[in-house]
Amino acid sequence: MTRAQRTVAVAALVVLAAGLAAGLLPAAGSNLGQGLSSLLTLAAAWTAAVLGLRAAMRTSNLRNRVAWRLQCAAYLAWSFGPVSWAWYYLVADGSPQPSPGLIVIRLAFFVLMLAAIWAMSRAAGNRARLRMILDAVVAAAAVFIVAWGGIFGEIWERAGAGRAGVAFGLTYALSDMILLIFLAVLVATEIPSGHRRGPLLVMATLATITIADVTFTHRVMYEGRPFDAINPGMWTLAFAFSAVAALGYRGTSPRRETATTSRFAVYGPYLPIVPAAVTLAARIATGSMPRAAEVVGLVVLFTAVLIRQVLVLGENLALLRRLEVSERGLQHKATHDALTGLGNRAMLTARLHELLPAPPRRLSLLFLDLDDFKEVNDSLGHPAGDVVLTTVAARLTTVLRQDDTVVRLGGDEFAVLLDDFDGDPRALARRMLDMFQEPFEIGGRHIALGCSVGLVEVEAGDARTAMELLRDADIAMYAVKRGGKNNVQLFNPDLHHTTSEELELRADLVRALDDGQLHAAYQPICDAATGEIRGFEALARWTHPTLGPIRPDRFIAIAERAHLSRRVTAAMLDSALADLGGWIDAGAPGHLKVSVNVSAAEISDPALPVRLRDALARRRLHGHNLVVEITETALMEHSECVVTAIRRIQALGIGLAIDDFGTGYSSLARLNRFNVESLKIDKQFVDDLGTPRGRDMIAALVALARSCGMATIAEGVEETSQRETLRDLGCDQIQGYLFSRPVPAADVPALLGTKVA
Ligand code: C2E
Ligand code: CA
Ligand code: CA
């Protein structure tokens, strides 16, 4: 038993003994006994109040502190009752009579307690609060109908001349019930199960007071004798529950959780209607009419249900509208370039997918890359570069028809897709070049830009895929660059073999793979809430013997074109699993994960699952130690054969994450069928977190991912504020420079030793 538990136990025993004494003393029958018993009751209420004040000091949460203080105030207000009884019994030597003063005290208790419960509520937003009140009103009206139909109504009718006393008792009993119901609704709908102990003890307080007050009322009615042994004992016991709650309070408050969608939360609030209906039906069946008070109760009940219905309907509509807006925003964002407002690569790919199965008479794809754009950026700065890009975009749209697709592929690369263009696309491309020669005015300076254009023509029967067409256009564009820039080149297969720089790098890459020059850098993936490291993403690194470090985007692209992806993955897989095995052997947790990126081309390779299984077996690791990251676009492009491969990978217990989510063109509904466990939200969304729209977008993404059973990992988190927002929005895990840049394997044990703050 800890010291705190011992204190609670001793306190509970003391108050119980006091309760027993308070109950037994009046049995002596003397006014002295009654008076002392009142004083004991008083002491119990004050003890609970003082302990509550102490509990208030323990929490840093404002709402909780206010709740405790209001509760204390309520108990103090309540204690004026026993004060007055003690005065009657001990000083005035008479017996207490119902008085307006006592009613005021009771109302004060009711209002303060109601406010305390209100403060305990964590409901977000006024609508949620209003709904909670309505739930309480429905429940209270139902209980009123049952209570009045059952016993109170009869007491009231029979009271005749003694109504003042009965009204007094009924006010007590009914206000107790309302408090109890209010708190019960709060506990059921809003307090997470791990945090219910305190509120349940306070409920026990209210329940005990209710029982004491009901028996009190009953006795006033039937025996004309307000006080006796039981009530003071019960009141004392009631405050004992609150005292225990206050002693056991540790000051922690639950995290705000997303609304529960359990059936109980949906239908629960309507349950109280059942007993009310049964009571009324029983009355009518036995031939008596419902009393006026019951009819009033019924009207209140139905009005509350009706308002609640309207409210929920409104909420649902608002939610739907939000979802719609987010989906639309998501689609727009996924298919558009933020800077220029043009379409992006995803849009172009989608359009090609749409057209390629039955190409129109003629399809032309132009790949444009501005010449020496880097110099503009370097000498005039990025903002100037952005102005150039938006101007280029605007000029491009003016020379094209409505049906043509123009997109920004990234950086200073643009593409144009001409659908059934009946002129000469080369002539059009030249017109574009002329257009770029017209000077751009930037910050008072005039600059002209060159542009290299690669052109691919697609005739009916062409079997190239969207990716291959883009690659060919890129190759043609590259030929222009090498040939002196600012020109147009039509693609022909010979060009494939002439990109000599790439050919050299390709040869070097093969050698690097042979010699094991490629190695992995590791970036931690952390729990968004606790900061604990859950795993690492392995990122390929290649330091070229003469050129120095080569950016992964660059050599990965070369590997893909040269059909070397498989070897890169094999190398990374091997390093990553060997390193992970070493960390686990050195004491890292056995559930640590390492994520390995798998290229688009590879995911449909039927041998991949077997290779993954063998790699794991070699290091004596388990499926749960490995996560395979596949880009969203890879999934979509190869969707048919990928489904089987993915099933087989998952059957091995290996995790699957969708990489760069939001940069491709896919709806979550389509992703859903792959049954993937996590979604990596791309950095561009995280960068937008500062804006309300950006926040909404991530909130919607997280909600949608969750509804598909996927966890979310945010990428590229660089700032504490981003992490906090992401955590509050319910994002599960986080990766980014904020925690750590990708580090060499040797630095990982040090990272594992420190929990990220
Ligand atoms: P990715 O899979 O999306 O990897 C995340 C990239 O974001 C990494 O770039 C990482 O260094 C970077 N990053 C992480 N946190 C931050 C941050 O807070 N701010 C910023 N600005 N960047 C951050 P890296 O290492 O340059 O890799 C680039 C891409 O190359 C990867 O993107 C992945 O698509 C590809 N790649 C890298 N290694 C492999 C590999 O072994 N196999 C395959 N197929 N692709 C790989
Ligand atoms: Ca990745
Ligand atoms: Ca990524």
Q: Which residue's alpha carbon is at the smallest distance from atom 29 of ligand 1?
A: 553
Is any atom of ligand 1 closer than 6 Å to the C-beta of 737? yes
Q: Are 444 and 398 in contact (CB under 8 A)?
A: no
Q: Given the CA of residue 541, which atom of ligand 1 is nearest to it? A: 38
For residue 329, is it within any domain?
Answer: no
Q: How far is the CA of 412 from the centre of ligand 3 (A)?
A: 21
Nearest ligand to the C-alpha atom of residue 632: 3
Instruction: Choose one of 466, 498, 530: the last residue of a domain.
Output: 498
Q: How far is the CA of 659 from the centre of ligand 2 (A)?
A: 5
Determine the pLDDT at residue 38.
Answer: 85
- Scanning 87-152, the segments in alpha helix (DSSP H) are 100-120, 125-147
Lowest pLDDT segment from 120-134, 184-198, 364-378, 681-695: 120-134
Q: By residue range, what is the domain housing residue 491?
A: 345-498
For residue 757, is it within any domain?
Answer: no
Tokens of 432: 């574009």
- Whether the per-residue pLDDT at 74 is higher than 80: the answer is yes
For residue 665, is it within any domain?
Answer: yes
Determine the pLDDT at residue 22.
Answer: 74
What is the number of helices (H) and of strands (E) in the chain?
Answer: 29, 17
Per-residue model confidence as pLDDT tens digits over 296-315: 888 999 899 899 888 888 88
Cα dist from 73 to 48, 175, 610, whole Å: 11, 17, 69
Instruction: Choose one of 460, 480, 498: the last residue of a domain.
Output: 498
Q: Given the CA of residue 560, which atom of ligand 1 is nearest to it? A: 44
Q: How far is the CA of 715 from the centre of ligand 3 (A)?
A: 6
Is any atom of ligand 1 closer than 6 Å to the C-beta of 553? yes
What whole-number percentage of the chain has pLDDT above 70?
91
Same domain, 586 and 559: yes
Number of folded domains in the chain?
3
Q: Are 561 and 499 in contact (CB under 8 A)?
A: no
Q: Given the CA of residue 737, which atom of ligand 1 is nearest to it? A: 18
For residue 716, is it within any domain?
Answer: yes
Q: How far is the CA of 412 from the centre of ligand 2 (A)?
A: 24
Contacts of residue 31, Cβ cutoff 8 Å, sequence gap at least 6: 89, 90, 93, 94, 95
Is any atom of ligand 1 closer than 6 Å to the C-beta of 740? no
Per-residue model confidence as pLDDT tens digits over 91-134: 887 776 667 787 888 899 999 999 998 888 766 667 777 888 88
Determine the pLDDT at residue 740.
Answer: 94
For residue 100, is it within any domain?
Answer: yes
Per-residue model confidence as pLDDT tens digits over 536-550: 999 999 999 988 999
Closest CA to 533 of 386, 750, 239, 703: 750
Same domain, 281 and 364: no
Task: Indicate the average pLDDT of the chain.
Answer: 85
- Whether the per-residue pLDDT at 755 is higher than 80: the answer is no
Same domain, 445 and 308: no
Is any atom of ligand 1 closer than 6 Å to the C-beta of 599? yes
Q: How far is the CA of 414 from the centre of ligand 2 (A)?
A: 25
d(CA 744, CA 737): 15
Instruction: Choose one of 441, 469, 498: the last residue of a domain.
Output: 498
Please name the helix (run of DSSP H) or strand (run of DSSP E) that holds residue 549, with its range, or none: strand 548-550
What is the three-state SS of 696-715?
Answer: HHHHHHHHHHHHCCCEEEEC
For residue 632, is it within any domain?
Answer: yes
Nearest ligand to the C-alpha atom of residue 682: 3
Same domain, 349 and 413: yes
Q: Are 280 and 298 in contact (CB under 8 A)?
A: yes
Q: Which whole number is the average pLDDT over 29-54? A: 87
Q: How far is the CA of 538 from the centre of ligand 3 (A)?
A: 12
Is any atom of ligand 1 closer than 6 Å to the C-beta of 650? no
Q: How far is the CA of 539 from the centre of ligand 1 (A)?
A: 6
Q: Which whole number is the average pLDDT over 484-511? A: 82
Same domain, 479 and 513: no
Per-residue model confidence as pLDDT tens digits over 239-283: 989 998 998 888 776 655 444 455 666 777 788 888 888 888 888
Q: Given the CA of residue 520, which atom of ligand 1 is nearest to it? A: 41
d(CA 542, CA 550): 6
Contacts of residue 589, Cβ cutoff 8 Å, sequence gap at least 6: none
For residue 728, is it within any domain?
Answer: yes
Cα dist from 124 to 190, 604, 642, whole Å: 10, 46, 42
d(CA 577, CA 107): 69
d(CA 740, CA 589): 19
Pocket test for ligand 1, best of 509, 539, 663 (most atoms within 8 A of CB): 539
CA angle 236, 239, 245 (to 5 degrees): 145
CATH of the domain at 475: 3.30.70.270
Determine the pLDDT at residue 724.
Answer: 94
Q: Which residue's alpha carbon is at the smallest distance from atom 20 of ligand 1?
A: 716
Same domain, 64 and 111: yes
Per-residue model confidence as pLDDT tens digits over 384-395: 889 999 999 999
Pocket test for ligand 1, best of 556, 595, 658 (most atoms within 8 A of CB): 556
Same domain, 493 and 507: no
Same domain, 269 and 407: no
Same domain, 545 and 438: no
Tokens of 694: 């950006």
Half-sphere exposure of 24 (CA within 13 A, CB side): 6
Nearest ligand to the C-alpha atom of residue 523: 1
For residue 334, is it within any domain?
Answer: no
Same domain, 512 and 407: no
Determine the pLDDT at residue 226.
Answer: 56
CATH of the domain at 575: 3.20.20.450
Q: Are 221 and 251 in contact (CB under 8 A)?
A: no
Q: Given the CA of residue 551, which atom of ligand 1 is nearest to it? A: 26
Tokens of 579: 């390193």
Nearest ligand to the C-alpha atom of residue 554: 1
Determine the pLDDT at residue 549.
Answer: 92
Same domain, 436 and 578: no
Same domain, 71 and 151: yes
pTM of the model: 0.49
Q: Are 233 and 23 in contact (CB under 8 A)?
A: yes
